[in-house]
Amino acid sequence: MHMAGHGIEEFKRHSHRKLYIIAAMAILTVFFAVVTLQIDLGYIDYRELLHIIFNKNDPSNNPVNEILVWDLGIPRILSCILAGFALGIAGAVMQCVLKNPLGSPYTLGISNAAAFGASIGIVVLGGG
């Protein structure tokens, strides 16, 4: 009976640890998104950038900087984050389908088919 209580407590600790890791990764994602946005725009300092992000349509904001942040920077960063989520989910699905934690697109030849499609697009359709 004592072992069952120990297992539940261990599971709770493990679950809390996973939640802390997920929260830390979310905070790091937001932090690096702001850093990337500032590096991308270059001449806008962090204080002005955060003011534009948290106070959209404020008359004190420079309209050009606001357009750069909201119409160019943030959509690009969000699309990168969504692409990362999609690639992570695709990898997890691939591993679940193969029932192998080392499963990859190379295992089924998906990467070779993608390379073949890209070469067809370049040669036949004149891409690149």
What is the per-residue pLDDT across 77-104, written as a single tens digit (0 to 9) for each?
999 999 999 999 998 998 998 888 888 8
Residue 5 is predicted with a pLDDT of 63
- Three-state SS for the chain is CHHHHHHHHHHHHHHHHHHHHHHHHHHHHHHHHHHHHHHHHCCCCHHHHHHHHHCCCCCCCCHHHHHHHHHHHHHHHHHHHHHHHHHHHHHHHHHHHHCCCCCCHHHHCHHHHHHHHHHHHHHCCCCC
**pLDDT mean over 71-81:** 94
Task: Report the mean per-residue pLDDT for the chain.
Answer: 89
Tell me, yes or no, if the pTM score tops 0.85.
Answer: no
Residue 80 is predicted with a pLDDT of 94
